[in-house]
Amino acid sequence: MAGKRAVHHVGSMPLDMRTADEAMRLILDVAGPHLRSLPDGEPGRNYVQPVVDGFARHPAFQQTGTGDWSTLDKRTTYKVRRGHRIDEKPLDDFLLYLASGVDSWPVFQRLREEYVRPELSYQVGLPTDFVIAFIAFGPGRAFAQRKAFLDASLRGIQRIHELAGDQVIFQLEAPAETLLTAKAGPLRPVAARYMAKGMANIARNSPVGTRFGIHLCLGSLEDVPQGTVHHVGQYVPVLNIAREIWPADRPLEYVHAPMFSPRGLDYLRGLEKLEVGPEVRVAAGIVREERPYEEQVALLTRAEDALGHAVDVSAVCGLGRRTNAAAAKAALQRAVALATC
């Protein structure tokens, strides 16, 4: 891998990229020498929208709301149908990101060999059980229903780990944990510990040796954050606690956090309090290809000064909301430029 910094690609690619081969090739062609891990681009999936909409086919899910997904408030929501339980029909077939993790593994193997990157890891992103329960049921019902999602996620992790072993790294995607911690105010320490325990619980119940990363997220829909966060210090506590309680035999290898905001350098206030240890890489979500390059160089410099070491470079979130493959390519090119500056 070239340079002291890596490029971290969060996961998704624009919807005009319909296959894992197409998405992964673009990522490799632009950023290949700078990657530590490679996701499949979530081809044609639009993150959790088709997953949540698909729950309408589950006998225990009774729809309570619908929408066009332009904002988090305009989405499909459910409650448990009277006389039913979610676990009466396993959720495995509904969690498309787990099936994609299995299906894309042979594609990854072939491309890793073709591009001569034997050390490259296979990156599989999955929302935490709390996130998917939160989106499907809303905050009031999510706490009661998350176990069925946890059980299905653990079965999926087990299956993919059996295929790929220590060549796969699972990225836990945590927008609900990020936003609820950030907005908790004086209750932030309590909220951060609860959210961190949920993520660590996934690791603790996965096979020994399973590798993990954490992706904090502001719940972007239509490329617009779903909550206002004034500075990164509002969500740093969830990462610190997660690292503190993480099981040592299921390594936490990186954390990714959104670090770009129109607020500029002030948004990085509190980053100096991030204490995940030297063995956990930090990926700074600063890339906005339509914004001035110098602005992001300043953010990168401030992040590294705050932490006292180099960081990896990433977009704020996945690139699935970009308009097309050309826009995703521009974002990846910007990430490479920043990683090598």
Predicted TM-score (pTM) of this structure = 0.95
pLDDT in tens, 301-326: 999 999 999 999 999 999 988 989 99
Mean pLDDT check: name the lowest of 70-79, 116-125, 228-237, 275-284.
70-79
Selection from 1, 6, 2, 57 nearest residue 300 by Cα: 6
Rounded to an integer, the average pLDDT of 236-256 is 97
Mean pLDDT check: name the lowest of 62-76, 94-108, 256-270.
62-76
The domains located in the chain, with CATH, are: 7-41+99-339 (3.20.20.210)
Look at residue 286 and tell me whether its pLDDT is greater than 50: yes
pLDDT in tens, 196-224: 999 999 999 999 999 999 999 987 655 56
Q: Residues with Cβ < 8 Å from 209, sequence gap 6 or more?
A: 165, 166, 249, 250
pLDDT at residue 86, as a whole number: 92
State the chain's mean pLDDT as an integer: 93
pLDDT in tens, 161-172: 999 999 999 999
pLDDT in tens, 128-144: 999 999 999 988 888 88
Rounded to an integer, the average pLDDT of 92-104 is 92
Q: Residues with Cβ < 8 Å from 59, sequence gap 6 or more?
A: 81, 84, 88, 89
Please tell me the distance from the alpha carbon of residue 73 to that of residue 291, in angstroms, as a whole number: 28
Tokens of 143: 């706490």
Please tell me the distance from the alpha carbon of residue 137 to that of residue 78, in angstroms, as a whole number: 5
What is the H or E stretch that residue 109 is in?
A: helix 105-114
pLDDT at residue 221, as a whole number: 58
Please give the share of the chain, as a percent, with pLDDT higher than 70.
Answer: 96
Q: Tell me if 104 sits within 8 A of 168, measured CB to CB.
A: no
Long-range contacts of 48-51 (CB under 8 A, 24+ apart): 48/127, 48/131, 48/132, 48/135, 49/75, 50/96, 51/94, 51/95, 51/96, 51/97, 51/132
pLDDT at residue 2, as a whole number: 44
User: What is the pLDDT confidence band of residue 3, given thresholds at 50, 70 and 90?
Assistant: very low
Look at residue 64 and tell me whether its pLDDT is greater than 80: yes
Q: Residues with Cβ < 8 Å from 74, sequence gap 6 or more?
A: 67, 68
Selection from 231, 234, 233 nearest residue 265 by Cα: 231
Please tell me the distance from the alpha carbon of residue 36 to that of residue 275, in angstroms, as a whole number: 22
Q: Backbone phi, then psi, for 216, in 5-degree steps?
A: -80, 145
User: What is the pLDDT confidence band of residue 46, given thresholds at 50, 70 and 90?
Assistant: low
Beta strands in the chain (DSSP E): 7-8, 37-38, 61-65, 77-80, 121-127, 168-174, 211-216, 252-258, 281-287, 312-315
Q: How far is CA 273 from CA 14, 56, 104, 152, in A?
A: 34, 43, 37, 34
Higher local confidence (pLDDT), 200 or 68: 200
Q: Tell me if 184 sits within 8 A of 236, measured CB to CB.
A: no
Q: Residues with Cβ < 8 Å from 55, sequence gap 6 or more?
A: 61, 76, 78, 94, 136
Selection from 280, 283, 272 nearest residue 314 by Cα: 283
User: Residue 248, class by beta-carbon neighbours within 10 Å (0-12 exposed, 13-18 middle, 19+ buried)?
Assistant: exposed
Look at residue 181 and tell me whether its pLDDT is greater than 50: yes
pLDDT in tens, 4-20: 899 999 999 998 888 99
Q: Tell me if 79 sits within 8 A of 73, measured CB to CB.
A: no
Q: Tell me if 161 sits within 8 A of 210, measured CB to CB.
A: yes
Q: Number of C-alpha atoms within 13 angstroms, CB side, residue 245? A: 18
